[in-house]
Amino acid sequence: MLGKLKIPIIILLTAVISSALTLTLIEPKSMTTASSDEKFEKLFSTYETIKKEYYQDTNDTKLVDGAINGMVESLDDPYSDYMNQKEAKSFDDNISSSFEGIGAEVQEIDGKIMIVSPIKGSPAEKAGLKPRDKILKVDNKSIEGMSVNEAVMLIRGEKGSTVDLVVERDGSGQMDFTITRDTIPLETVYFEVEDNVGKIQITKFSESTAEELKKAVEELESKNVKGLVLDLRQNPGGLMDQAILMSDMFVPKGKTIMQVENKDGSKEVYKAENDPITDLPSVVVVDKGTASAAEIMAAALYQSARIPVVGEKTFGKGTIQTAQTFNDSSSVKFTIAKWLTPNGEWIHEKGFKPQVKASLPEFASLPYLDPKKGMKPGDSGEEVKTAQKMLNALGYKEMKEEGFFDESTKSQVKAFQADHKLSASGELNEETIIKLMEALQKMIAENDVQIEKAIEVLKK
C-alpha cells in the first residue's frame, strides 16, 4: 500500500456521499498473473466463452465490472462494495469539497437501502427522514436489490432539483417524500451557550472535524461556561483518525481510546497521546442515529474518561473499511477489521447503551406530512391521524386521534390557523401543513429532553 491510510469507520455511502476517505492506491494484478492460478480457470473460461459464443457483442468493461461486483456481493457485507469510475469519483470528490444531494447517510441491509442518519440542516432532515427508514423507490423506480452506490446515483442530483422517495418506516408503513436537493454544508461542528453550559453538536467526522471541535472548546472556555454537552445524535460517523484525535482531547494521556481486531485475531490498541484540552465537566448525548466513528468517541469518553453518556442505544457499526483504487479510477472498498471499545466490547449490530436513558417524546417521531397532499373534512387515514397527533402535541386537544377528519378536527385546524394568522378554512392545505410541521419542530427544539437530561447530569 502506498501513502498513509485514513480509514473510514463508516463507509455508509450516502445520498450525498458524505463520508470521506483518502484512497490508498494498490496496483491491480494483471490478468496473466491471475489466470495462471487454477482458482481462476473457471472465471476466465466463462469470460472467454461469453466473448466467443454469446449471440450478441459484449462489453469487456461490463463483464469485468460484473465479475468484481459478484465477488464483492458474495461477501454478504453491506459495507463492502465495488464503485465504477463515476461512483468512485463522486465518493472521492467529497473528501475536501462541498456536494449536492439530499444529505442522508444510507447503507444496504437485506437487499434494502436504509437511512442511517440525515445530516443536520440537510433537505433530508427538513423533510422528516428518520434513522432506519427503508427507501423502497426513487422517482417511482424500485431500488430493491440495488447496491448502495446504484441507489445513491439515483438519489443524488443538482441543487434545486427534486427527487421523490417512497420509504417504509416501522410502525408507520409506507410514506412518500418529495425532497429538493441542495448543497450540503461542510461545517461539522456547531456550538452555543445555554444556561451557562456549552453545547457542541458534531454532525459527522470529516477531515476538518477535530480542528473544528478544538476551536469550539476554546471559544466556549473563553465564555467561562461551567461544562460541556457533546451532542453526537444523528451523527453517522466518518473518518477513524478524526474519532481518535477528538477522543484524545478528552481521554487522559495513556488511556485506551479504541482497539482494532485484525483478521488473524491480533489487536492494535490506540491510546490517548496527549493530556485533555479541557478540565470542564462533560456529558455525551447519543441516539439511534449515532453510528461508527461517533460510537467510538462515545465509548472512549465513557470507558476511559468516565464521561457520562445520555440518550438512547446507538446504531451499532463496529467494522472498518478501506479502499483499493484501480488504474482506470474504479475502486473496491471492503471491510478489513473490527473495532472494539476500550473495554474490548464489539458493539456491531448491538449498539452502545448510554448510562442514563433519555428519549424524546413520541411526537418527535411523527412521520412527515406531504404539504402537497391536503386534507379536508370527510377524509380519513394515517395522514389525518398524524395531523391530529401533531395538533394535539401543540395543545389543540379537543378531538380524537382516530384518523377521521370530523367536525372537531376541523374546529381545531381553524383554531390553529387563526393562531398563526392563516386563512381559517378548517382544511389542511399546503400552507397550513407547512406551518404545522414548523411549529412542531420548533416545540421539539425548545423541549429537548435529552439535552435537558444531559445538563441535569452535568450539574450533579
Q: Beta 197-202 vs 228-231: how paired, if at all? A: parallel
- Looking at 246-344, which runs of residues are DSSP E strands? 256-261, 267-271, 282-286, 309-311, 319-325, 331-340
Angle formed by the axes of helices 430-446 and 382-393, nearest 10°: 50
What's the start-to-end Cα distance of the chain, in Å? Answer: 50
Interatomic CA distance for residues 248 and 274, integer angstroms: 6
Asked whether the CA dihedral 86, 91, 97, 100 is positive or negative, the reply is positive
Exposure of 190 by Cβ count < 10 A (0-12 exposed, 13-18 middle, 19+ buried)?
middle
Tell me the three state secondary structure of residue 383: helix
Q: Taking Cα atoms as reference points, which of 175, 78, 86 lies closest to residue 133? A: 175
Cell, residue 5: 491510510
Interatomic CA distance for residues 261 and 235, integer angstroms: 24
Give per-residue burial for 255-264: e unless 16+ CB within 10 Å, then b.
bbbbbbbeee
Residue with cell 451523527: 235
C-beta of residue 231 within 8 angstroms of C-beta of residue 216: no
Interatomic CA distance for residues 388 and 401, integer angstroms: 6
Residues with a known catalytic role: 292, 317, 321
Cβ within 8 Å of residue 168, ≥6 positions away: 133, 134, 136, 174, 175
